[in-house]
Amino acid sequence: MNMTDQMILDLPARKTQGRADFLITDSNADAVAWLDRWPDWPGHALCLYGPEGSGKSHLLHWWCAQTNARRLTPAQLLDADVTELAALGAVALDNAGPAAGSKAAAEPLLHLYNLLREQGGYLLLAARQPPRQWQVSLPDLRSRLLAAPAVGIQAPDDRLLVAVMAKMFADRQVRVGPNVLSYLATRIERSFAAAETAVMKLDRTSLSGRRPITVPLARMAMAAEEKND
């Protein structure tokens, strides 16, 4: 390892998560429209599903900011006072599929669901799969989840991949040309996880060689990645 490699630090990117930072395309327009409809939902609950890195967390963050909702993980749900949560009027649960499948978490989730409905509150659930694919441990909870509207975020198109990678580079305070973004978008797996991996790899390659990010550099970085695979 040379001195340049030793100086590269995996510093966290400064991510922005406002509504204006989320690009709307055909792949996510339905999900955004449903959140924009709040509080005029047909019921008190909504499930948002999509692949890892598709923007669910970004939308949950934005919805919580708009509604003063509490955002929870399944582990936090286990430790929370469900009555106090329901009194907030709006709650968002990330990674809801595994929570519904766990008996320990399913019971407080059912209690929270019922309390929010009784008190006129709202529940936003985020997961990788739609509720019909969840292995829900409680029949009563399953029936309620299946009755709630569910909206998906689809695999990103090229336009969205380009925009997402541009934001990822910007979060890392790195500027790249549109030709580099277009090159990457047509050569990586059509997923947000692959986009993040490509951005991180190219940023590190640029830093290690002290070279600007160009299409030839992107080609070299991707070729090295394929060789390692």
pTM: 0.77
Domain boundary among 88, 123, 152: 152
Pair 97, 189 in one domain: no
Answer whether 44's CB lies under 8 Å from 123's CB: yes
Taking the C-alpha atoms of residue 62 and residue 60, their distance in angstroms, rounded to an integer, is: 5
Residues ≥6 apart with Cβ < 8 Å to 175? 169
The total number of residues shown for the chain amounts to 229
Pair 62, 143 in one domain: yes
In a domain, 179, yes or no: yes
Q: Tokens in use for 35? A: 């959140």
Pair 77, 143 in one domain: yes
Pair 187, 126 in one domain: no
Q: What is the pLDDT along the chain (229 residues), one digit of tens a residue?
A: 332 333 323 334 334 444 555 678 888 899 999 999 999 999 999 999 998 877 788 899 999 999 999 999 999 999 999 999 999 999 999 999 999 999 899 999 999 999 999 999 999 999 999 999 999 989 999 999 999 999 999 878 888 889 889 989 998 988 899 999 999 999 898 888 889 999 999 999 998 888 999 999 999 988 877 666 5
CATH number at residue 163: 1.10.8.60
Counted domains in the chain: 2
Pair 91, 65 in one domain: yes
Element containing residue 204 per DSSP (H, E): helix 192-209
Pair 166, 70 in one domain: no
Residue-range definition of the domain harbouring residue 129: 22-152
Domain boundary among 152, 178, 210: 152
Q: Tokens in use for 193? A: 């996880």
Taking the C-alpha atoms of residue 150 and residue 155, their distance in angstroms, rounded to an integer, is: 16
